[in-house]
Structure 1
């Protein structure tokens, strides 16, 4: 199959995951998202980047409508239309994860968000794409109850003709200036694998044959040995030399410059403190030890870009919180990626924090292509 794979994307958010795949040669044909501000951002950013509109459009609704008639049949028709053109079809998505995260509700598969994981798996089993990508928090592995649910989902996929592989990735491995661990589960239809002459027995793991390390720039061991700085006294607009042995691309300062964050269209979007600035002036550069009011270090990576639950992240050398343009840079997005000017601050930060770091999604997309070829 010479054509680049065609994607149906779910829980698409503002399209960070989709963009990484698209810039690797995939074609986005169908987009589904439930939260209107995310969808508005997705559409705005596509136009800003001059990407073509998805062939089957944008679908602003709960994913569960596609598991039932008449929408189930409509989706099947779209999938069949791609098949008729001999295209490989992929479903990609990261169901909302608060129910599996320590910072969230931890309700697991019983929570409203947890149920969406099962819905996504049901959809894959019904529509039988050639491959799928499922992204979620590491909490899905770490708790016994969540792990059992995850294993049940994989068993269901195996019963419906899929072989899978999974890995706990860290975005930094792909050159993202942010420590962000996520589970990536990838599955391929056994029939598709057979057509590609990849020998597979039903229900076996693909862990030994899937080239997970192909696109990784830094191994976990290498990352541990980098002499990142810890803390320096806060100096408003002060200068600080970069330590020897720290890769540029893993520092927030490199990305702030690369994306020209102070001239970016979203540069002035940041929360103003209700109280005085006193607190902003005393936290050292690089002190991210507390749950909130973490100050980034310019010559280090950022902690996970999650800005909900009072997780306030401060600029390394300015007496303020991070701006949206800086948060986008920490997510390793291209400079041309922008959020709509009329988006609310809370939706803007929620949008950025929920996305998969762009370079990590590109790395995963390219790894799948390596495997398919």
Structure 2
């Protein structure tokens, strides 16, 4: 039996795609933004070779849904699953240090609370929550996250980790908080060990009381994805800094090609979405040095270095390393490890394309996390079925 998954805040479906690649079956999706729904359906249909009619998306706000209505819509006509999951990354500007920083008081911030309420009502076998680092490292936001997890502590055991995409082989320095939760009723011996209970107790204390620290001292019981050759990659290698724009630059011998932006920008001319980019007007397109990402906008990537967060803010798409323009839609997708067969529609605005690409987690990160969740379910659940 393939384990079904319900997806909230689907966006372009990058988390969904990672879970799909890890062996899960996303059977229900919820996305409020019509343009993002169009982008998701176009991308998934082109990648999977299926019709958009087979990719329905619930377009209501999560605040207008009930656990009962979700279950009826997701599982009507299907056998009630022995196990299922819930995944989602609620909008994060209210928790971002560089964003609105309104936290739980912001319109987007409140949706995090609604998401956890849906989890409480649906009682899935497992859930995944992902968000910006600020929701854990900022004291006020962290207290809010703790209050939401507290709603689930009687039914779920969970683990929290700040994952950097770069450390998992993605050419992008992007930290995300990921919370993995498993329902106690579906786990076997793991929750009964003294060692496990002690880890959970210590972590709960740290979350509740040690609010002036970054939570890096927490002990993980979940087997988080780990790529040894890329671990601490940001500091492990002698990355190049800046070079005059338009000059030829050889790759340093000691930096891994898989983490270099330039590796992902080659041979794209025949791919869909490659000829889509904002028309360059400013003189800055010719004057910003390659690798200069120090400014708030007009950050130019270095071909032999990783990228900061791909496509962020209000159309702040990074400058191409050696071309006098911003990254194309396809180039931004490559940095997010989106497959070449995933195609966004022609009638979708550039702003919406970049926004939905930038909002998502890298597909490779999502797939690696999903694979570890699948491994835990197969190893620890009383019965998943085959």
TM (norm. structure 1) is 0.90
Tell me how far apart the structure 1 counterparts of residues 77 and 125 of structure 2 sit (CA, whole Å).
Answer: 11
Tell me if structure 2 keeps the 8 A contact 1:305–1:353. Answer: yes
Tell me how far apart the structure 1 counterparts of residues 376 and 226 of structure 2 sit (CA, whole Å).
Answer: 10
Tell me how far apart the structure 1 counterparts of residues 191 and 78 of structure 2 sit (CA, whole Å).
Answer: 23
Shift of residue 189, structure 1, vs aligned partner: 0.4
Report 1:19-168 matches (<5 A): 19-50=17-48, 57-67=56-66, 72-77=67-72, 84=79, 86-159=81-154, 161-168=155-162
SS at match of 1:58: coil
**Structure 2: gaps spanning 5 or more residues:** 204-217, 379-386
Cα distance, 1:82–1:239 mapped onto 2, change above 3 Å:
farther
Cα distance, 1:51–1:210 mapped onto 2, change above 3 Å:
farther
1:199 aligned to 2:198?
no
The superposition leaves residues 250-289 of structure 1 with CA deviations (integer Å, 9 ceiling, x where unpaired) of 01111122xx3332211121111344xx211111110111
Tell me how far apart the structure 1 counterparts of residues 72 and 219 of structure 2 sit (CA, whole Å).
Answer: 33
1:316 aligned to 2:321?
yes
The superposition leaves residues 56-114 of structure 1 with CA deviations (integer Å, 9 ceiling, x where unpaired) of 831011011223xxxx4232335666994544200000000000012211110010000
1:219 aligned to 2:231?
yes
Tell me if structure 2 keeps the 8 A contact 1:31–1:54. Answer: no
Tell me how far apart the structure 2 counterparts of residues 34 and 216 of structure 1 sit (CA, whole Å).
Answer: 38
**Structure 1: gaps spanning 5 or more residues:** none
RMSD: 2.2
Give the equivalent residue in structure 1 for 2:214: none
TM (norm. structure 2) is 0.87
Shift of residue 142, structure 1, vs aligned partner: 1.9
Tell me if structure 2 keeps the 8 A contact 1:6–1:87. Answer: no
The superposition leaves residues 178-231 of structure 1 with CA deviations (integer Å, 9 ceiling, x where unpaired) of 11000000101000113xx323459756954211144665212x4411121111
The superposition leaves residues 323-360 of structure 1 with CA deviations (integer Å, 9 ceiling, x where unpaired) of 11110011011111111111111111111111111111
1:177 aligned to 2:171?
yes
Give the equivalent residue in structure 2 for 1:287: 292
SS at match of 1:240: coil
Of 274, 279, 285, the match for 1:272: 279
Give the equivalent residue in structure 2 for 1:263: 270
